A and B are shown apart, each in its own frame.
Chain A
């Protein structure tokens, strides 16, 4: 199994990568920090990865995506799967005051992913097999005042993935939309943890299974499907008055 993982130093992606490493997979890890990548790479090697290569890239440099994907393909001798897991949980308030900040958030969480997806789709489509998994978010299911910039980026991503899944279905390429709820990771370090928080391990393992099965849309943990069903069914006149 040859897998490209973008945002490989994220806690969730690392947990998924551990599952693949245990199976003896070959991994190509992309991340921003070379020190962190090295830590993750060494860990996955000890855990049984047949190979773990790393590639340093700031994903907001869209013009370097092609080059990175080519490097991954060349290094591993092809790709079977790709997991896109990078993202930032920006400060909603800062984004409200500063449009540059908003657009930066969009670049990281949406535009950069769309760029990667386009390139990867064109790689997998003619090969008629493969799997592309992307970490979106439950935040993309409905815009809320507390984080609608992040939510909108993830929401756009979710719709893009729907379309892409539709397009690639006839080629036998799976497109997996992953919608984690609250996860206890460095990304949420400053947030107070409640009962709804799941461990990165649980979510990471969920992604691994969803990728192997080529599922469509997975909520992780599963109960979020129900929560978001309720959140989505509240009529807008009521919803706009809630403080969510």
Chain B
């Protein structure tokens, strides 16, 4: 598998914003670590660049490439506890562990993320209502601070730093290795149902019925239909297949596709998106389809197209994922979808899901109970940014939040309202660590006393 960013210039998945780092420093071994205190600029860990916006970028600073720290350390076949270096990708874990009957406790929509990144963004997946976030399954990790200290962090030891680092956007230090719990599976296959729904209310009804019996749920949605139904889509739900016979069935290996060029600007617009939505929605003729598929197409449909970000052209794209509390979510969705429709911008891949109530240990974790929608917009200059600012204000009013791992533009004021514990968190940020994202969202707003002023200026 070769999915590393080989250009040598770190960029995020959305390719917006485009920034320059003063240097890229590669780390190869845990016993040969750089002296971060000597660095003139601030630094930020980076592995495979799957964050969408600028939370993995540190303009003008040092990017610490941890993608070479990709060794396993130990695995306990009895408990499923896996310990590995922070640059190990989830893809690698699946490749090694699925044949032995183990699966990731939580996985996002791409397997090409590092373990360090999974912790730093406290990622969630289709099983949030059952399994919580990735951070809920982490038992401990080793954190290197810029003063050279190497700290073992767990719920018992350095517990505050443990909670700050989970969802801490890489700002609390460098995670060298982590230990977390895998879960046993009988085989690599998933029993899935695809159910077509014609309105948001229908989505809520199917979701309520599915949460109890299905470990994984998510929906692809078409948000451009307008009217009282608000959206239509396909609800996908699944469980790990339990048949021991299937464990011996060889998995089909498909070669990944590659997008060879940046698509021109006009390739993705609201018309092509409408056409795609129409096709996709009607591609499934029956109301309900049941299938058994291997885990790859179920969890990672887009991973089969390497560098799919190129479909959005050279200017890149913006992801926007928000969560709004269930109470009032219908109204918030009506406002948000209305505003998107009026803007004429089309979101090519829109995903809807309900977050459950399992609380993450992370201080700055994004998931909270409610309805979450992830959208993507080709970057079209100021008008795209204006649209997203408008969406922010609706999310703010609804008491929701926007996901930092996918963000490249939210204001400091918005961030500080979405994440009220940010000041508590700021005390754990390593003085030598920073990111483009962090500088933007701590830009002096709402600072009350001198002490926190200092923190912000670091």
Contacts and interface: CB of A to CB of B under 8 A. Distances in A.
A201 B30 CA distance: 20
A47 B100 CA distance: 10
A197 B26 contact: no
Contact of A42 (B1, B2, B71): B71
Contacts, number: 48
Interface stretch (B72-80, B185-193, B315-323, B440-448): B72-80
Contact of A39 (B1, B8, B71): B71
A54 to B, nearest CB: 14
B72 A35 contact: no
B29 interface: yes
B29 A193 contact: no
Interface residues of B, number: 19
B4 A43 contact: no
A83 B8 CA distance: 31
B39 interface: no
B38 interface: no
Interface centre among A47, A48, A189 (most CB of B within 10 A): A47
Nearest to A22: B96
B29 A36 contact: yes
A46 B74 contact: yes
Interface string A179-205: 000001010010011000101011000
A197 to B, nearest CB: 7
Given A42-B74, A43-B73, A201 B31 contact: no
B1 A46 contact: no
B28 A186 contact: yes
Interface in B120-146: none
B457 interface: no
A46 B75 contact: yes
A59 interface: no
Contacts of A33: 31
B6 interface: yes
Interface string B25-64: 0101111000000000000000000000000000000000
- Chain A interface main SS type: helix
Contacts of A192: 8
Interface string B157-189: 000000000000000000000000000000000
A88 B31 CA distance: 19
Contacts of A79: none
B387 to A, nearest CB: 38
Contacts of B68: 11, 186
A199 B8 CA distance: 13
Interface in B1-24: 1-2, 4, 6, 8
Contact of B6 (A36, A40, A184): A184
Contacts of B75: 46
A42 B96 contact: no
Nearest to A201: B2
Contact of A46 (B6, B29, B96): B96
B26 A189 contact: yes
A42 B84 CA distance: 10
21 contacts: A11-B68, A22-B96, A33-B31, A35-B29, A36-B29, A42-B73, A43-B71, A43-B72, A46-B72, A46-B73, A46-B74, A46-B96, A47-B72, A47-B96, A184-B6, A192-B8, A193-B8, A199-B4, A201-B1, A201-B2, A202-B2
Q: Top 6 closest A-B pairs, CB basis? A: A46-B72, A43-B71, A35-B31, A186-B28, A43-B72, A46-B75
Interface of B: 1-2, 4, 6, 8, 26, 28-31, 68, 71-75, 82, 84, 96
